Structure 1
């Protein structure tokens, strides 16, 4: 009975919206809701998911090339950490730039160009012969892939109504985890290959081929994205109401199978918030298509200042600092322990191969014995990476897929703060538990719980942030959040790289503690659906 009443109310509400939209201008939220939810949105989630998969491959590839490149490039633990940091530094440096550019020129344009450029840079980087060259190219990769890494949230969210926005972003997070499932599987196939090509004074090994393969997904997605539309919400915020309406009509036609002329909305209007934002944040005198480089630079600088000024006003400033800090703490955990898990798996397997009579050893005891183990195990003419490392990583990432599905299912069924708090608390506790593991099985079990909760929390926090901020500062807010997250990732990677071989307890306890502090901050998130 209650279900029937709810359905009748829903039908009445939609009918009322349709009748109103015939007589007056319609706001974007109502217009996108009238499009329904169907084929277009399913395909669009797949598109954004595949772009996100490309980004994830770039973010996770270091974890698999480091053990293999260790001998070729003579890498120390600090240098391994710095390779991860170089990639993240590139992302930090690009954050504000891509946010302002996307709010000025559009989400689609920036996504297309950065995906295509990143594929070229990745292919070139695979020919690196020294540590310094590889570090440089990984930093450039971080700069270019930083755009889709943050703008996908905004681009995806602006094609969805508030009812489906958070859920859709959580489902796209599934593809991130899928990428981290593909990485160890592909690495298991490619890296053990006996490849040692010599040409023009260059050496090309299996790990370099593995790196080159990472260029293919970004290239493909950049080309496919060319055929998709710009965000209609962005166009509406820019005053391009007619273009925005045409895109929304196409979405309606694809979802319902009806003709575009049947769409009940005659004219879109920007809300007072968006209309004011257009006057504050966008400079119509300096067209994005201007041929003058100086005018383009002036426009970017002016837009940057106006958007930062708008973002600095309460209550947006309070929410911005809160969301950025939470993301910082979670990314500390995600990258701090996440990228080093294959390394820890490898050390466990190498230790037990050399000492088969020892039944258990703690992580930190293992780390202190690492130098001796490496001396006994490493043969740089034949790099030894136990296949169990790939199997364990596959298991961890397969379990993470469950977390993404669960978070998407629960996103619109629990409170905004319930899900991130629960996930981050579990992540912090399981992160601490890694210190007490003594066997490969134990570290695998704890790693599964840790990776599942910390990765799912990242996507939930990102989706909440998209929902909080209005369109005119949405891209820069998300990019700045991503910037803070990368700073957290850099800090945790530096800590692990420098301290793992010296005092293993400190980085593990520190990172887990930071994640738990982020859980406390999520309690301060606003409960409302929209600011």
Structure 2
């Protein structure tokens, strides 16, 4: 009788006051809990996500610039620093080794301190060291700074996907990630565009024994947007999914309420969720840790012990059934993808430059295959064309690179539009297969036009496969190991890129045929492995881990 009377009182009060209605509405949810995926859906998709996705895209855009800037500064700096083919390859490798060496570190720290904290810190550090690197006066100095850049940009390069994915509902997640991947491709427009404007400038300033010229200015400009983005990102919240995995339900709920308010223009108190449920996806033994990853102990030994203990727990999760087979699969597939991408993609400006220089030396219409072209002694070409002190990239190279990147951007847009309509492994399988075939075809081309067409196909397919593979990793692994899983997968890709660059530096001048066929074969092998990518929903995989 009392319960009935109480209910009647509430109903009467609702008619009298909207505010009391809200309380009554919330009371009906008071004893229920909602999982994170449901809660993030209820936040809607609006102004918050538009702004956050664009910011992530800009970060990824200039992170891509940092990752690929070697392709343009190396041909421009080869006379300044007296670089040979092996040294050019070592500069590429130094950057990749920096990223590889820090992959595990950033994954551990992101799971200990949060996604936002690590990304902001590394963005600011990367920009500072980039500015300093413009003063490099030798090959040795430049290679050290490029290795440091690899370390610092490795965090946002890997963790942006995790950060964005955790703040986006499943329905928009793949599209958002594809947009960010598209922004990485935009770096391929920004880099040659800026290079076209800046690198041909013929100026040299000497002060206190330091030379500052166009390619150094070009490198320094790349660091400015990253510095700005680091400060802007400070205004955004930590991933609520990460906070939930740490047992911080209230903090996670408050962030979701803010997102809801921004997206819907309603009061945050109207958010129809009162409590978040920690599922197997978010769980990280939160009942057994008193937020051990929020480290406030003054002892450095204690901090290191906790980080190593946490890292070991995460690695055990990733390398234990049912995740082990998916981890190994993702690592191998990403290795093959980055082996192919860096095998051809990062060296394309160099190849285009050699093509243009060859035709400038042979204006009578003589054609040359790729292998014939790259066996020509590059130093002889340089000496025949001009005084080495003023050597720069042929302007046609920028147009050719822009054409390839335009094709890649188009491919990623199409990939984003159709990704939700196809099985998860369809795009990686087809894209890698077509890219591998294009790799074989590169051996037969004998003009810059032909290599542009084939390179367009190759780069479009590799970029499309790369984006989908990354989204698969985000879906498969649970939140408390997600950042580390992404970083380990990126590490596997960087190993592939390092091996590819070693092979390119060693074989490009002496054994071109082996190089081309090796790259194409490895890419096709990756295509075959993509058949094994699971098409099950993540919830099924998580359920297997519980069972």
Structure-2 separation of matches of 1:495 and 1:276: 41
Mapping of residues 480-499 of structure 1, within 5 Å: 480-499=488-507
Structure-1 separation of matches of 2:69 and 2:356: 21
Contact 1:286 1:296 in 2 (8 A): no
Partner residue in 2 for 1:49 = 57
Partner residue in 1 for 2:332 = 325
Contact 2:318 2:477 in 1 (8 A): no
Contact 1:278 1:472 in 2 (8 A): no
Offset of residue 164 of structure 1: 1.9
Offset of residue 273 of structure 1: 4.5
Structure-1 separation of matches of 2:375 and 2:386: 17
Contact 2:281 2:479 in 1 (8 A): no
Structure-1 separation of matches of 2:74 and 2:204: 17
Label 1:30 to 1:177 Cα distance change in 2 as closer, same or farther (>3 A).
Answer: same
Q: Does 1:274 align with 2:272?
A: no
Offset of residue 292 of structure 1: 2.4
Contact 1:107 1:155 in 2 (8 A): yes
Structure-1 separation of matches of 2:302 and 2:176: 38
Q: Does 1:73 align with 2:81?
A: yes
CA displacement, residues 179-208 of structure 1 (integer Å, 9 cap, x when unaligned)? 111000000000010120000011111111
Give the alignment partner of residue 297 of structure 2, picking from 290, 298, 301.
290
Offset of residue 44 of structure 1: 1.3
Contact 1:171 1:405 in 2 (8 A): yes
Structure-1 separation of matches of 2:319 and 2:285: 14
Offset of residue 379 of structure 1: 2.2
Give the alignment partner of residue 253 of structure 1, picking from 252, 255, 261.
261
Partner residue in 1 for 2:369 = 362
Mapping of residues 212-223 of structure 1, within 5 Å: 212-223=220-231
Q: Does 1:456 align with 2:459?
A: no
Structure-1 separation of matches of 2:208 and 2:414: 51
Structure-2 separation of matches of 1:21 and 1:407: 40
The answer to which of 283-292 and 237-246 deviates more is: 283-292
TM-score by length of 1: 0.94
Unmatched tracts of structure 1, length 5 or more: 1-17
Partner residue in 1 for 2:19 = none
Q: Aligned residue pairs: how many?
A: 514
**Equivalent position SS for 2:79:** helix
Label 1:160 to 1:349 Cα distance change in 2 as closer, same or farther (>3 A).
Answer: same
**Equivalent position SS for 2:390:** coil
Structure-1 separation of matches of 2:183 and 2:28: 39
Give RMSD over aligned pairs: 1.7
Structure-1 separation of matches of 2:174 and 2:94: 31
Greater C-alpha Rg: 2
Label 1:278 to 1:520 Cα distance change in 2 as closer, same or farther (>3 A).
Answer: farther
Offset of residue 385 of structure 1: 2.2
Mapping of residues 95-134 of structure 1, within 5 Å: 95-134=103-142
Mapping of residues 159-238 of structure 1, within 5 Å: 159-238=167-246
Label 1:436 to 1:22 Cα distance change in 2 as closer, same or farther (>3 A).
Answer: farther
The answer to which of 383-392 and 118-127 deviates more is: 383-392
Partner residue in 1 for 2:455 = 447
Offset of residue 283 of structure 1: 6.3
The answer to which of 266-275 and 487-496 deviates more is: 266-275
Unmatched tracts of structure 2, length 5 or more: 1-25, 542-547
Structure-2 separation of matches of 1:405 and 1:301: 40
Contact 1:286 1:295 in 2 (8 A): no
Partner residue in 2 for 1:424 = 432
**Equivalent position SS for 2:250:** helix
Contact 2:80 2:389 in 1 (8 A): no
Offset of residue 491 of structure 1: 0.4
CA displacement, residues 196-224 of structure 1 (integer Å, 9 cap, x when unaligned)? 00000111111111111111011011111
CA displacement, residues 461-483 of structure 1 (integer Å, 9 cap, x when unaligned)? 10111011110110100000000
Partner residue in 2 for 1:240 = 248
**Equivalent position SS for 2:64:** helix
Contact 2:293 2:307 in 1 (8 A): no
The answer to which of 416-425 and 226-235 deviates more is: 416-425
Structure-2 separation of matches of 1:283 and 1:454: 44
Structure-1 separation of matches of 2:268 and 2:63: 35
Structure-2 separation of matches of 1:283 and 1:294: 19
